[in-house]
Amino acid sequence: MNTRWQVSVYLWLCVSCVGIAMNASYAAQENNEYVPIERAKQQAFSKPKSALISRAVFNKEQPVESVLLSPDGLKMSYVIKENKRKQLWVYDIALDKHVKLITAHNLENLSWTADSNRLVYVDAKRVVFVGLSKQQLAQTRYRLSDANTLFVKTDSYNPDAFWLLKYDVSQSMYSLIKVDSHSNLKKDSHFKRNSDEQSDSHSHSKSDSHSKSDSHSNESIQYRSPLPIMNFWADKKAVRFVSLMGNDYQSIVQLLADGEREIIKCEVFDTCKIHHWSAQTHTLLLSGQIDNDTATLHAINTKTGIKKAITTENSPPFDASQFFVSPEGKPFLLGYETQYVHYEALTPNAEALLNRLTSRISDNIYRFTPDKSLTHWLVAEEDQQSGNVHFRLYLAESDTWISPLSHIEPSQTDATWSALRVPIQYQASDGMPLFGYLTLPSGYKASEVPLVVFPHGGPWNRSHGSYNRISQFMANRGYAVFEPNFRGSTGMGQAYMTSAQRDFGNGRVQQDIIDSVDYLLENGVGRADRLAIVGHSFGGFSAINALAFTPDKFSVAFAAAAPNNMSDTIRHYKSSIPAVFLPMRLPRFSALMGDITNRQDVSYLYEQSPDKHWQNIDKPLYMWAGAQDDRVAIEDVREFALRLHADGKAISLVSDAREGHSPNSSLAKDGYLYLLERALFSHLHGRMEEKMTPSLTRYFDKFTSIDTNGVSN
């Protein structure tokens, strides 16, 4: 059902986002189980040693992205990258025909219109409608006025309408706006709305449940609130439900003719997405944790208040992350990202369909996305050995499979160099069971190879069961790699996430990471005299933490886009992002990490940070940073590196003036991997592709700010 929307709450990208990856990946396994370490060690040792694979292989990009099935299931759109531009294509299933529509710099918020006859995207603040033939020109239907006006989605009923969320900074007021762009097009194909043109008649109080329109703009404010509108549900006539973010909780509110009624409260860190409402049965379908530890779909009777969690006896102890509802508004299918993947059928028809879908899925990573009627399904499979993504269509009515993109997708190859990667469970020093993913180099005794611990970013994120190019890269160089899902990680339920108890820095979360290393060493994985810690964003913070608080444990650390004091990073993030996002995200930061307006919280974060304890660092540190990073201030990174350098510590800093939080260009990605490779090779003595291209040499000459480690030597 395409009637839901939610602004992302994660402030930092996980390291897997450095490359091109699926937005959400699931690895197909018959049994979602943890693998015993001894079995993994034997399997990895029995494989032949792999050849040294070029960095370029690990940096390769997928040729196709943003694949979308139309609401009627008869067409599929996709994007092909062409240098720095993107081509938008459409495939007609009945005609078996591909048509190139446009080429643009950006295709943000790409989505289908309700009638499946056009595509909509945002580029340079323009909302653009694109017809499905070369004869139909792309038409600018609207221009977003500023950074605090967000395109939300196309309307589920009117093919000319779409939704915006606007934040008025002067009034501290959010407005949910519906725009009917049909007459905008008649008047001006490059229609632009300025804030000065908006009539005072648009000003509604929070309790207004009916929309008012400006005859000149065809915009109607459907709802206003001083609280952030996180998501909403609307039928053909009006908005019926909204989710509002408060300082202490989220409220799911029903909008009635005579006012508003709160249906349920959710924790600020719960997703609480509205999926469907039936006026006949008064049933609201809402996903989230709510009264459960793990997220699932909930049916709430809005008249009686009775709620029921929709689970089965086979539901795994993980948060459901995909929710499929039938056209009649009945729960149909749930998707879970477990150690690998699990789909749970909720009806006999869903079970029959799921059996047909999974019967043609190999042991790869996959994700299902249906059309509106749940009859045509887009299946995205990612090869767990190579990371290549393949898209297929399943037409349930005729039990037919189609591979429409086989002519441009990478061929199915046997990536014999790929290392074994398995989920393992371990116990933290305080007894809590945790898990992560272990990657072992092929053909080596696990006890004889160096060990790299690789904590994910976020921190409210997780390591997945999918292909991880950085882990595979390090394993190819001869290192065992472990990605711990420390407490605070998401996807494993509320208790797993909140048990961090805001104890970041040199606290419980960092101890979970150290405990994973100790567990592996005790079980014959890695050498205690050759340990490294590698991370990006929050993972980079953890890497610097390790050198500051456990200086005798690791031989070297690699930290990319890394904060050194979380309170400073939150302040920078607060000052660098559009104001529209702040009230949405800060309550979750306050609940899960710390309130930067509270002196005690700020002091605690500083006392537990490497910013305070930097003098303890006595092992080599390699850092990469993007000067355009809007999450981690480049000034803080440089000041920290200069402080270490002035004290005679071994520090290298590569600061790319053109990049943001993660490397984006091919050259920056190559430089990123080379810096990581050099750090591990110099101190753990694995393998290395030492040859530097002239362009890579120039890259380091240009962007290396500090280098006492001899990166380019």
Q: Which residue in 240, 241, 237, 193 sits closest to 217, CA to CA?
A: 193
Q: Which residue in 339, 333, 392, 337 sits closest to 362, CA to CA?
A: 392
Helix/strand/coil for 385: coil
Determine contact, residues 384/467, Cβ cutoff 8 Å. Answer: yes
Helix/strand/coil for 204: coil
For residue 176, list its beta bridge partners: 165, 223
Q: What is the predicted pLDDT for the residue at 209?
A: 35
Determine contact, residues 500/327, Cβ cutoff 8 Å. Answer: no
User: Tokens 């400073």, residue?
Assistant: 568
Which helix (H) or strand (E) element contains residue 549? helix 538-549
Q: What is the predicted pLDDT for the residue at 413?
A: 66
Domain ranges in the chain are: 420-707
* Model confidence pLDDT, tens digit, residues 279-328: 999 999 999 999 899 999 999 999 999 999 998 888 999 999 999 999 99
Helix/strand/coil for 333: strand
Q: What is the predicted pLDDT for the residue at 32?
A: 63
Tokens for 153?
């989605």
DSSP assignments along 237-301, one per residue: S-EEEEEEE-SS-EEEEEEETTEEEEEEEE-TTS--EEEEEETTTTEEEEEE-TTSSS-EEEEEE
Q: What is the predicted pLDDT for the residue at 251?
A: 97
Q: Is 8 exposed, middle or buried (0-12, 13-18, 19+ CB in 10 A)?
A: exposed
Each residue of 313-345: b (16+ CB within 10 Å) or e? eebbebbbbbbbbbeebbbbbbbbbbbbbbbbb
Alpha-carbon distances of 101 from 98, 106, 134, 343, 567, rounded to whole Å: 10, 14, 6, 35, 46
Determine contact, residues 439/472, Cβ cutoff 8 Å. Answer: yes
Tokens for 46?
């029995």
Question: Which phi and psi angles does 202 have, rounded to 5°?
Answer: -80, -15
What is the distance between the alpha carbons of residues 388 and 409, in angstroms, rounded to a whole number? 8
What is the distance between the alpha carbons of residues 349 and 334, in angstroms, rounded to a whole number? 13
What is the distance between the alpha carbons of residues 275 and 262, in angstroms, rounded to a whole number? 17
User: What residues contact 500, with CB distance under 8 A and at least 6 apart?
Assistant: 459, 486, 487, 488, 507, 508, 509, 592
For residue 163, list its beta bridge partners: 153, 178
Q: What is the predicted pLDDT for the residue at 305?
A: 93
Tokens for 378?
């887009």
User: What residues contact 131, with CB distance under 8 A and at least 6 apart?
Assistant: 101, 117, 118, 137, 138
Determine contact, residues 337/320, Cβ cutoff 8 Å. Answer: no
Q: What is the predicted pLDDT for the residue at 363?
A: 67
Determine contact, residues 526/453, Cβ cutoff 8 Å. Answer: no
Alpha-carbon distances of 444 from 38, 45, 203, 278, 685, rounded to whole Å: 14, 5, 68, 59, 14
Tokens for 188?
């001006």
Q: Which residue in 222, 166, 218 sits closest to 188, CA to CA?
A: 218
Determine contact, residues 626/662, Cβ cutoff 8 Å. Answer: yes
Class for domain 420-707, per CATH?
Answer: alpha beta
User: What residues contact 116, with CB distance under 8 A and at least 6 apart?
Assistant: 70, 71, 72, 74, 75
What is the distance between the alpha carbons of residues 587 and 461, in angstroms, rounded to a whole number? 17
Q: At what angle do helices 566-576 and 599-607 cross, to 10 degrees?
A: 120
- Residue 403, amino acid: S
Q: What is the predicted pLDDT for the residue at 575?
A: 86
Residues of the chain with pLDDT under 50: 1-30, 185-217
